[in-house]
Amino acid sequence: MPGNLLKLAITSCLVLGPISSAHSWDTETDTNGPFGVRTHYNPSFGPFEKFFADDGTQRSQDIVDSGYFGLWIVCDTGEKIVRVQYAKWDSSKREWFAVALAPVKRVNVKFGNEKPISWNVSNSEWWGDGSKTAYVNLIFNNPSLFMKKLNSAGSVSLPIEADRQNYQVKFLTKGFKKYGPNFKKAGCS
C-alpha cells in the first residue's frame, strides 16, 4: 500500500470516534518517524478545527459524504514537507482513500488577507493499478518560506482541482505557530 494511503488508513478513526483533544492542528507523531501537523477543509462547510464524532450531526455526515482536504506540514529527518491531499471515505472498505488531483506546476496561494502568490508545486504520484499515474498530493517548493508565512497568517487558501471539480480550499492557520519548538526539536528549524 502506498505510504500516503497507509497514513490515511491509519487516521480513519478520527471521524469514527470522539477525539476530545483534537484542534485546528492535529499532531502526527511517531517515535521512529517524522513529526507533523495537519489541518482540514471540508467542501460542504469549509475549514474545521476538529474532526467530529460519528454522532449523527450534519457536520460529521458532511465529512463522511464529501471527505476533506488536509494540509500537512511534516519534518522528516530534518527535511520539511508541505503538502495538500484530498481524502474520501470508502464505506465498503471502512478506510480513507486519496482522491486524484489534477497535475499542476504552479498554484495561487493566499495567506490571510495578502495578495495571492504564484507558488511552484509538484504532484507526487503512484501507480494504483500499474497502468496509469494518479496524482494524490500537491507538494509545495520552498517549505521554509511557506511555514514562515503560515506563522503570520490566520488562514491560507488556494484553488485545487480534484475529482474533476474545482474547489477554493481554505485552511485555518492560527494554531500553527505553537508547533515551532516541535519542528526545531525534530530537526527542522
The CA distance from 159 to 104, in Å, is 11
The label of the residue with cell 458532511 reads 62
The CA distance from 185 to 189, in Å, is 8
User: For residue range 112-150, what is the model confidence (pLDDT) as tens digits?
Assistant: 999 999 999 998 876 666 555 778 899 999 999 999 999
Which DSSP letter does residue 58 get? H
CATH number of the domain where residue 40 is located: 2.60.40
User: For residue range 90-106, what is the model confidence (pLDDT) as tens digits?
Assistant: 888 888 888 989 989 99
Backbone angles phi, psi at 8, to 5 degrees: -65, -40
Determine the structural domain holding residue 138 and report its residue range: 3-185
The kind and range of the H/E element at 90 are strand 79-90
Q: What is the pTM of this model?
A: 0.80
Q: 40, 175 in Cβ contact below 8 A?
A: no
Structurally, how many domains does the chain consist of? 1
